[in-house]
A = this chain, B = another copy of it.
């Protein structure tokens, strides 16, 4: 491996000078700069990032943990966050926790081992104690961890209200909402409360179907949909995550229930998948790009020692669609 010493030798200067040139630091005479650059080119020298990391005590790498990378919501989030981090000079390491025993634990340990400078934590596991003594930079994505960890999330309360308001003019009699596991501590739970509240105030019956905390596979949603129609044959409105609503559309079609005539559907999340079917699904859209921007901003500013102001809930919007 050709090292900085080889370059120094060839250019007849000291390694430290080479370092200065490479990092555009301090004052280097034009003449020695040229010599160094030539030597670098001749040897096609590339500095070792590992050595640099050790010296500087930082890796310029941010970890992102999510439950399931291929889920449209998280996939989109990861795409956006990767771009934002790249802009700020950071690499992105991803980790998904489902189908991998204690991956979250291993990931947090990597933070301790200084493999990454910080992490954006969006997984849904249930053991929060591993974060207790931790003073490393962490930003939570749509999830409560503890008081010391800032959290980036959408304004789920108005999200719930928005969804409810979409249903209201249609005067549904029986709405069912599909929600994630309550045991997962996430601000997202707020949208269910706001939803129920708004609708029951208006006198609509609302039932709730809870899914397992680790349900992310399309098959899980399909089963839930079947279950829903079996349990509540008179349902005329459903509110739930994108994938759940997709599954409901499918099952409804199979059972000859027409959407939106006999069944109104509103999805929560509003990922691109709500725009991929025959009908555009009416949906509350989480501002994934904005969330990613904030997460990237928060984590990098923490890594650089800047404290970061208080976080606020990011505004959601309603996507007009064909299903409600």
The answer to whether A276 and B275 have CB atoms under 8 Å apart is no
Any chain B CB within 8 A of the CB of A260?
no
Residues of B within 8 A of A272 (CB): 70, 218
Q: Nearest chain-B residue to A66 (Cβ)?
A: B79
State A65–B46 Cα separation when bound (angstroms): 21
Any chain B CB within 8 A of the CB of A171?
no
The answer to whether B82 and A69 have CB atoms under 8 Å apart is yes
Residues of B within 8 A of A247 (CB): 276
Residues of B within 8 A of A99 (CB): 83
Q: A92-B94, A113-B49 are in contact. Are A68 and B57 (CB under 8 A)?
A: no
The answer to whether B273 and A250 have CB atoms under 8 Å apart is no
How many interface residues does A have (CB within 8 Å)? 54
State A273–B277 Cα separation when bound (angstroms): 9
Shortest distance between the CB of A178 and any CB in chain B (Å): 15
Other-chain residue from B44, B70, B113 in contact with A48 (beta carbon distance below 8 A): B113
The answer to whether B113 and A100 have CB atoms under 8 Å apart is no
Any chain B CB within 8 A of the CB of A278?
yes
When each residue 113-149 of chain A gets 1 if its CB lies under 8 Å from chain B and 0 otherwise, what string results? 1110000000000000000010000000000000000
Chain A residues proximal to chain B, CB less than 8 Å:
1, 44, 46-51, 53-54, 57, 59, 61, 68-70, 72, 75-76, 78-79, 82-83, 86, 91-96, 99-100, 103, 109-110, 112-115, 133, 218, 243, 246-247, 249-250, 253, 272-273, 275-279
A sample of 13 inter-chain contacts (CB < 8 A) reads A50-B59, A53-B53, A69-B78, A83-B96, A83-B100, A91-B93, A93-B94, A218-B275, A246-B276, A249-B278, A250-B277, A253-B279, A273-B273
- 5 shortest interchain CB distances as A-B pairs: A253-B278, A75-B75, A70-B75, A49-B113, A46-B112
